[in-house]
Each structure stands twice: as C-alpha cells, then as structure tokens.
Amino acid sequence: MRDLSVASEPDVDGKRGVTVWLTGLPSSGKSTIARALEKRLLDDGERVEVLDGDAVRAHLTRDLGFSREDRDENVRRIGFVAHLLSRNGVVVLCPVIAPYRAARDEVRALHDPGRFVEVYVSTPVGVCSDRDVKGLYAEQKAGNLSGLTGVDDPYEPPLEPDVLVPTHNQSLEESVETVWRALHD
C-alpha cells in the first residue's frame, strides 16, 4: 500500500482535496459505494463531487464510444476534472470502470503524491453477472451487446491498489468504512 498521508493533511482552508477512483467491473458496486461514501463525507462537512459516466456524458464525453481509445479518453477527461477539483479542496469520487491500467496511471501522474487514491472494487465477474444492475451481462449473453468489460473486452485490475474492496465478502457499510478509513488514517 502506498503512503496516503498527504491526502489526510488539511489544505489551507481546512478542506482535504483528493481524487478517489473506484475501478472495477460493471455491477461490481462502484457507484453504490460512491453514493454512500458521498453521503458520509457530506455529513463530515467535506466538499464532495461524484463524477460518474452519467454525470459527465452530456457535458464532457458525449462524443465517446467504447473503443480502447475512447475509453482512455473518457478516463483522461474525468481524471483531469477530478485533478482540478481535488487540488481545490474537493473530495472527488469517480466510480468509473477505467479498464486500462495505463490510463489510470496517467491520471495518477497528474495528481500530487497522495492526492489520487485508487480503490479496486474486486467483485468477481460471476458475482457481478448475477447482480447485473443494468442488464448488460444478460444482453451480452443474448448476443445483443459486445465489448462488455471483463467478459469480451479487457479489464486490467490494479496491481497495487491503494484500497481493496471485496464487496462479495463484506457489506456495503463495511466497504464504505474501508474507503473512508483509508482517507483518514
């Protein structure tokens, strides 16, 4: 695990800015954790923004599809915005698949040390497929969709995530607690 201590040092006006990137397969639980964590951080008095695909599509990424190039560009744009916000004292939660390691590392490199926290939501594909929140796994199985991350499109898991969240082995509350502690220890 990397040293996250910088992220827990308050900025000038008492706010800790940090980008928390939740990477994992579709239906792994990224957005659910992000929304619950957002609530807790708002209760703490933090400034919080959640940048998920739906939130940014209309304004930032509507030209992008699902090629590797477009997926990387999606990560790059969201990562840049997260960088700007986090250096201004905002806790930015990005529940975004970000399947390619190089693109995630590029976003990390934009940030000052400790300002980028990579959370690997490590739910196995079988569990994700059973949950199938958006019906994507069923669509893929039925042959109506291709390029589903983790099934017939690549997913490169983090080799050294800052935080590991195995949602198949713990409750939502425990998952949120795990990430929250990593930001505060």
Q: Which residues bind a second copy (CB under 8 A)?
A: 13-15, 47, 49, 56, 59-60, 63, 73, 76-77, 79-81, 84-85, 88-90, 110
- Which C-beta is closer to a second copy: that of 50 or that of 164? 50
Question: What backbone torsions phi and psi does residue 27 show, to the nearest 5 degrees?
Answer: 65, 15
* Residue 165 host element (H or E): strand 163-165
Looking up tokens 């916000």 gives 85
Q: Under DSSP, is residue 20 helix (H, G, I), strand (E, B) or coil?
A: strand
CB of 114 to a second copy, least distance (A): 19
CB of 43 to a second copy, least distance (A): 14
- Which C-beta is closer to a second copy: that of 90 or that of 121? 90
CB of 116 to a second copy, least distance (A): 15
Question: What gap in Å lies between CA 161 and CA 79, rounded to an integer?
Answer: 17
CB of 2 to a second copy, least distance (A): 23
* Distances 177 to 92, 124, 150, 164 between C-alpha atoms, Å: 17, 20, 26, 12
- Which C-beta is closer to a second copy: that of 24 or that of 79? 79
